[in-house]
């Protein structure tokens, strides 16, 4: 059996940077260490950090928490109001927001102040998108599917700024832009999808198109991993979304001569290696 692992599988720059900042704080200074929400969408990493004394600050119970200790803002970023609330409550804030996400915050903040309405291509329930919305001072809407464009209010026809969630599907973003071009006569567009995301999606499609079984490794709550799974499933019907080696089923590999592996941006390298080891045994 031939095993093909995508070169881009695993931690992206922003996630690696955020996780390293958390580990750097363990044992440094006094007081408890918190992350605002899970530092990344991977329960294995979160559990490992919790065992070392890093606690998750509940997003929906922020007002109930005491303002002491250090809070690390995860790579997804947070809204301006959350950042201000954390500071007001007395936490020491360490910002591990991905630089590419911070760039979107600056764009929407500036353009909102200039009177632009903001359109965000992304998942409205994703923490990154919620954070982006929180840096807008004027009207803002989130679009995910082409049908969402038809529901836009009439005032979203001119002076509109379009950005995208960094992990949004690049091909879907192009479809949305094509439809927006027909109704927006005064617009500025920022392709804020991370280059690493685009490369990961393109490579995942290439690998999946040439294998008999495709494995997508990552947390079920990871948006970018879910998109990789959707892309791979289009190319290989025998595609499976797993979190760890425990989810593997030997039946998937029957009669498979080539097996492909890719992984989301929040998947540690050691989990990918465990999956590789398991597959090589067949």
Helices (H) and strands (E) in the chain, counts: 10, 12
Taking the C-alpha atoms of residue 43 and residue 216, their distance in angstroms, rounded to an integer, is 16
Report d(CA 274, CA 215) in Å as an integer. Answer: 13
Burial of 261 (0-12, 13-18, 19+ CB in 10 A): buried
Selected catalytic residue, list 48, 114, 128, 199: 128
Residue reference for tokens 């949305």: 176
- What is the side-by-side order of every strand in the sheet holding 117-121? 140-143, 117-121, 160-164, 187-189
Question: Which residues touch 177 (CB under 8 Å, ≥6 apart)?
Answer: 162, 189
Q: How distant, in Å, are the alpha carbons of 137, 197, 205, 257 from that of 81?
A: 11, 28, 39, 53
Q: CA–CA distance from 76 to each of 18, 79, 81, 128 (Å)?
A: 10, 10, 15, 5
Structure tokens at 259: 């097996």
Q: Do residues 170 and 198 lie in contact, with contact meaning Cβ atoms separated by under 8 Å?
A: yes
Q: 107 in helix, strand or coil?
A: helix
**Alpha-carbon torsion, ordered 39, 120, 222, 48, to 10 deg:** 0
Q: Is 254 a catalytic residue?
A: no
Label residue 139 exposed, middle or buried (CB < 10 Å: 0-12, 13-18, 19+).
middle
Written as six digits, the tokens of 184 are: 């927006």
Residues annotated as catalytic (active site), given as ranges: 128
């Amino acid at each position: 059996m031939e095993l093909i692992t995508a070169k881009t599988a695993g931690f992206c720059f922003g996630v690696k940077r955020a996780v390293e900042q958390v580990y750097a704080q363990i044992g440094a200074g006094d007081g408890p260490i918190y992350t605002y929400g899970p530092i990344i969408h991977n329960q294995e990493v979160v559990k490992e950090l919790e065992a070392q004394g890093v606690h998750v600050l509940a997003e929906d119970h922020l007002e109930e928490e005491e303002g002491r200790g250090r809070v690390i803002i995860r790579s997804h970023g947070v809204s301006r109001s959350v950042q201000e609330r954390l500071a007001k409550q007395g936490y020491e804030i360490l910002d591990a927001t991905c630089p590419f996400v911070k760039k979107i915050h600056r764009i929407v903040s500036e353009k909102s102040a200039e009177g632009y309405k903001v359109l965000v291509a992304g998942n409205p329930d994703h923490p990154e998108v919620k954070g982006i919305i929180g840096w807008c001072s004027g009207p803002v809407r989130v679009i995910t599917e082409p049908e969402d464009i038809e529901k836009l209010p009439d005032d979203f026809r001119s002076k509109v700024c379009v950005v995208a969630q960094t992990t949004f599907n690049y091909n879907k973003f192009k479809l949305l832009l094509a439809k927006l071009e027909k109704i927006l006569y005064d617009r500025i567009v920022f392709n804020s999808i991370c280059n690493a995301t685009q490369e990961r999606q393109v490579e995942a499609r290439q690998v999946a198109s040439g294998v008999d079984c495709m494995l997508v490794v990552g947390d079920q709550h990871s948006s970018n991993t879910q998109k990789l799974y959707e892309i791979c499933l289009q190319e290989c019907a025998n595609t499976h979304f797993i979190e760890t080696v425990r989810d593997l089923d030997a039946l998937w590999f029957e009669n498979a001569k080539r097996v492909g592996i890719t992984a989301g941006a929040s998947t540690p390298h050691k989990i990918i290696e465990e999956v590789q080891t398991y597959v090589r045994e067949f």
